[in-house]
Amino acid sequence: MIVRRPLEGVRVVELARILAGPWAGQLLADLGAEVIKVERPGCGDDTRGWGPPFITDSEGAPRGAAYFHACNRGKRSVAIDFTNADGQAEVRELVRNADIVIENFKVGSLTRYGLDHASLLAVNPRLITCSVTGFGQTGPYAPRAGYDFIIQAMGGAMSLTGEPDGEPQKAGVAYADIFTGMYATVAILAALRERDLRGVGAHLDLALLDCQVAVLANQALNYFASGTAPRRLGNGHPNLVPYQLFKTSDGELIIAVGNDRQFEQLCHTLGLAALSRDPRFSTNAGRVEHRTEVVSAIEAATRGWTMHDLAEALEVLHIPCGPVNDLADVFADPQVIARGLAIEQAGVPGLASPIVVDGERMIAQAGAPKLP
């Protein structure tokens, strides 16, 4: 059992709004850091108004948009107008005893207020500043504002998402923002470790475009190796077949075959033994080459099964499969319930952190803050 959370005693000043920067701040709060969120007087973080839906607490009092609560758990809010000298002095006083500043202003914007990393080092030489921007501190696009939707498009993700004959699609959540928040957290923890060793702070440069490109993963390497830009495959996998959604008589099931043995077992279960014996399909490389024939044969067979019966048969053989759940299904799933992923704090719903240390889930004890 953990006596204290890993980041207890660490103080974070968050000069960030919307999603990427606040996501990093929330994760640090879940791990035990004290996170002080600096918001504009009167209106606060833009996402307080990004609804409906809106949240009310256990007493029926309005608490702002659900969006805001998704990325601001565990923080303390202060309202400061740092466009004037008094507000700037307030922020510097917060930073004096802080370990980390997270900010997501356009490149150079904080310099005119004397709140950029170089200026704040004069107040706190051990300070770690994490700057989150759309395109980074350098390069021809550095002055631009960056939004997740644009970054998914520019960073290649939308070219890989959607049906082959359809238009490019963004993901259903803001993954460029969320991945940037995650990478920012990793960078902050590395900088804290380095500061413990050398006693000096650091300026971290996190860009949404960098992070979106970085998570192209196997698709980027597929392009480097082949010289051909990958195309949209709908629910298909570029490197594995069969590995996609298949229709049954009463629903849809994901079947994810990862090796030749699983393919052979799948074929026998579906009454397609001849398919598994065909030398064209005996290896994954062959199945990728003959994707259309393999997928068509399997889908014709799966339509004769109910989703439940097919899933049960495949699970016995340890062939990975799963249903396509909507969010009502997700939060009614016994595994999700058992893992405690839906939480409530002071009558306000929320999502748990996925991090579990020595059996204890890392969740900040307070919900998202009210605007002072």
- 214-266 residue pLDDT tens: 999 999 999 999 999 999 999 999 999 999 999 999 999 999 999 999 999 99
193, 260: one domain = no
Instruction: Judge contact between 232 and 177, C-beta under 8 A.
Output: no
Residue 119's domain comprises 11-216+341-361
Give all strands of the β-sheet with 243-247 in edge-to-edge order.
243-247, 252-256, 321-323
Query: Above 70 in pLDDT, residue 2?
Result: no
What CATH number should be reported for the domain holding residue 188? 3.40.50.10540
Q: Say if residue 259 is in the same domain as residue 140.
A: no
Domain count, the chain: 2
Q: Are residues 203 and 301 in the same domain?
A: no
Residues 148 and 18 in one domain: yes
Claim to verify: residue 160 and residue 249 sit in the same structural domain: no
pLDDT at 51 over 90: yes
Amino acid letter, residue 327:
L
What is the Cα 189 distance to its own chain's centre? 17
Please, what is the average pLDDT of the chain?
96
Same domain, 118 and 168: yes
**Residue count of the chain:** 372
CATH number (domain holding residue 311): 3.30.1540.10
> Do residue 189 and residue 315 come from a single domain?
no
The verdict on pTM exceeding 0.75 is yes
Ranking 2-6, 10-14, 314-318, 343-347 by mean pLDDT, the lowest is: 2-6
Q: Which residue has the tokens 């108004």?
A: 49
Q: Which residues are catalytic?
A: 177
Which helix (H) or strand (E) segment is 220 a member of? helix 217-226
